[in-house]
Amino acid sequence: MIREDITMLAPQVVHDATPVVVTDGAAAKLKEVMAAKGLADAALRVFVTGGGCSGLQYGMAFDADGGEADDLQFETQGLTVLVDPISIQYLEGANIDFVDSLMGGGFKIENPNAVSSCGCGHSFKTAEGGAAAAGGGGGSCCGGH
């Protein structure tokens, strides 16, 4: 029996999700800064280190050397992004955005793995208390940010 009341839907293309999302605004600002610094072909390295008042700190840098052999490398928004194997454990599913307001602007990372963060938003704590694994913690709010 063939049912005529069923509408067939076109197949949906599923895109593999990137481990870290870079918003349109963040990508535009990163490309602007990279062009101004003559680093248009560099990769964006996103990482986590021990420190800050919440135990772990976010970091971003430009990497013109192609990264390390064990880095996770992916493309998003026309950018090559590198994340080391330790940092990806803390950053999986995070969103990097650029916020510009009257009080100042900067990159903001929204991290679903963070259970708390400091007032400046540059450091965070995970449910596992991840500071020991990344090398320390403590100190004033992210080194004075």
What local confidence, expressed as pLDDT, does residue 30 receive? 97
At 73 the pLDDT is 94
Could you read off the pLDDT tens digit of each residue along the chain, which spans 145 residues?
454 554 444 433 333 568 999 999 999 999 999 999 999 999 999 998 887 776 788 899 999 998 999 999 999 999 999 999 999 988 999 999 998 877 778 898 888 877 656 555 555 556 665 443 444 444 444 444 4
pLDDT score, position 26 = 96
Q: What angle do CA 81, 85, 88 make, to 5 degrees?
A: 65
Tell me which amino acid residue 104 is.
Answer: G
Query: Alpha-carbon distance 26 to 69, whole Å?
Result: 26
Q: What is the CATH number of domain 20-130?
A: 2.60.300.12
Question: 11: burial class by Cβ within 10 Å (0-12, 13-18, 19+)?
Answer: exposed
Delimit the domains of the chain by residue range: 20-130
Instruction: Using alpha carbons only, give the angle 76, 102, 105 rounded to the nearest 5 degrees.
Output: 30
Cβ-defined contacts of 137-145 (< 8 Å, 24+): 137/50, 137/51, 137/52, 137/54, 137/55, 137/56, 138/51, 138/53, 138/55, 139/51, 139/52, 139/53, 140/53, 141/52, 141/53, 142/51, 142/52, 142/53, 142/57, 142/118, 143/51, 143/52, 145/120
Q: Residue 131: its pLDDT value, please?
A: 45
pLDDT for res 8:
45
pLDDT of residue 116: 59
Structure tokens at 66: 């192609």
